Structure 1
Amino acid sequence: MRISCYNPLLKSEGDMQIWRLIDLGINTAFENMAIDEALLEAHVLGLTPPTLRFYEWYPAALSIGYAQSSLDVDRNKCLHLGIDVVRRATGGKAVLHQGELTYSVVSSSRFGLKGSVKETYRMLSEAIALGLRSLGVPASLEPGTLRSGPQTACFAAATPADLVCGGRKLVGSAQVRRGDSVLQHGSIPLDQDPRLLKLILPDAPPPNNLGEFLGRTPSREEIKEALIEGFKQCLGVEIIPCSLLPCEEELARRANRFSRLLG
């Protein structure tokens, strides 16, 4: 079946580039990963402009990197606890999605997201850092000194472009490329249950919940607004709320079949 759709946002106004904001709220792990893959595929096909998306997960889920062995996680324990297990399109290690906010970004070099994986990762991390700093979180892109180990868990180690605060990793992000197009998504722990994290990922450090750095837990909406402003200011773009296009909904339905498969 041929996928096609018309998106008027592909033509930006004047010098200001327009991005979409997609916020579909809470979805299952399989729906969330399928939607991210659909956003990337539609952008690769030239059907959509850059997109910033926010989402949450229900039920709680564990996502693993595309090249990570499924043997790294105890799927029977996850099943017993009612936690879905899903494979991401991006690399990296396992992430528990509970008590957190997830962001994803889809863009490409033709819209200004140019450079190596490290360079584009840093560019997007700087936008997130700007948003978090506006909330009062002293986030930086310097690698922290984190507990070593087998690194089954994403938050067990930081790279030079990861966001940290006081040597603790704040955001766990991963990226994948298709041609000149980029999908980057990441987890921002807010009020994650440390006992559940320890049960599922024994080698993971305690969750670095955002409220610990502020003395309060900001609302999801407050965090989203801060991150949106960070992207707007850092990248010089306008961001407007939108819905998924019909072609993306169709692509997501197709991708949903595959995000359930673990090998």
Structure 2
Amino acid sequence: MTTLADREWRLIRDEPRAGATQMALEEIAARTALEDDLRTVRVYSWEPSTLSLGYRQDADTVDWDFCEREGIDVTRRQTGGGGIYHDRYADISYTIVAPADEVPGDLMDCYELFCEPVLEAFDWMGVDAAFASAEQASIYQPSCYLRDINPAHDIVASAAAGEDAQKISGNAQYRQRDVVIQHGSISYDLEPRAHVGVFDTDLAESTFTDRVTSIRDETGIDRDAAVDAVAGALGDWANATDSTWRDDELAAARKLADRKFGSDAWVRDREVLEPGEG
């Protein structure tokens, strides 16, 4: 339990949604944290499967034909780093949203705090996971799971393997309107063909499987149990109340998705459309 648990939190076990809407909901949750003094933890998935680009990632690194052919959406995150392929089944994602003045100002300290429930969830699932004990060099920089492994915010398994441990979760933060938003991708299963296929480069699938492991590979538990573990750890960490999005939040997220996270202007050029443009 953290001191944050003394505040008002909600836990949202979100339904599958399009990537643009999922990203928009984070900004809406930031507004709710400030205006309504209500913080959010949530676990969610992506429907359809989606490639989320890092904030400064060049759109030319994407194999757009592959994504279109495979029915994979593309959006762009507010956080930096490489692109992440969020498979509808193989990826489990989470978000934590809290006012900035309630969390450590030091980025590394904040990562340590916000990753507590993620590591707790791995422990519940029987996965020997921890922050990476050593940096690993980048294999392919445009891919989050193949770029350099950073001990500050990358989680690996099995931890006992030391420098040979494989990445199992990538986590990132950004600050907006005096709110800290952390989101992360947790690898439940491996889909190497899509993970390398979404990028406009020639990478062997083994490049991905050599670097990345998954909950299923480590413990064999089913996906629903893994989702429950992540949601339960987040809820316990924040002492959160089970909840859902309000209708006004969903409506605002749809509008934001249309003019930002789902628009070519944002996805390809990081440009946000003004209301009414499109």
Provide the residue aligned with 1:159 in structure 2.
150
Aligned counterpart for 1:83 among listed residues 72, 90, 102? 72
Instruction: Give the deviation of 1:151 after TM superposition.
Output: 1.1
Provide the residue aligned with 2:222 in structure 1.
218
* Range with greater deviation from structure 2 (244-253 or 27-36): 244-253
Contact 2:83 2:142 in 1 (8 A): yes
* Range with greater deviation from structure 2 (113-122 or 20-29): 113-122
5+ residue gaps, structure 2, are 270-278
Give the Cα–Cα distance (whole angstroms) in 2 for the partners of residues 140 and 183 of structure 1. Answer: 21
Q: Secondary structure at the match of 1:163?
A: strand
Instruction: Give the deviation of 1:131 after TM superposition.
Output: 1.6
Instruction: Give the deviation of 1:140 after TM superposition.
Output: 0.8
Q: Secondary structure at the match of 1:170?
A: strand
Provide the residue aligned with 1:260 in structure 2.
262
Instruction: Give the deviation of 1:256 after TM superposition.
Output: 0.6
Provide the residue aligned with 2:213 in structure 1.
208
Provide the residue aligned with 1:105 in structure 2.
96
Q: Secondary structure at the match of 1:225?
A: helix
Instruction: Give the deviation of 1:191 after TM superposition.
Output: 2.1
Instruction: Give the deviation of 1:31 after TM superposition.
Output: 1.6
Percent identical residues: 27
Contact 1:190 1:217 in 2 (8 A): no
Q: 2:82 is matched by which residue type in structure 1?
A: K
Q: Following TM superposition, where does structure 1 have runs of at least 4 consecutive aligned residues deviating by more than 6 angstroms? A: none
Question: Does residue 1:124 correspond to 2:114, yes or no?
Answer: yes
Instruction: Give the deviation of 1:105 after TM superposition.
Output: 0.8
Instruction: Give the deviation of 1:107 after TM superposition.
Output: 0.8
Q: 2:109 is matched by which residue type in structure 1?
A: E
Question: TM (normalized to structure 1)?
Answer: 0.83
Contact 2:20 2:262 in 1 (8 A): yes
Q: Secondary structure at the match of 1:155?
A: coil
1:82-105 superposed Cα distances (whole Å, 9 cap, x missing partner): 111101122221000101111111
Contact 1:173 1:186 in 2 (8 A): yes
CA 1:255–1:27 in structure 2 vs 1: closer, same or farther (change >3 Å)?
A: same
Aligned counterpart for 2:85 among listed residues 96, 103, 109? 96
Instruction: Give the deviation of 1:184 after TM superposition.
Output: 0.9
Question: TM (normalized to structure 2)?
Answer: 0.79
CA 1:191–1:114 in structure 2 vs 1: closer, same or farther (change >3 Å)?
A: same
5+ residue gaps, structure 1, are 1-14
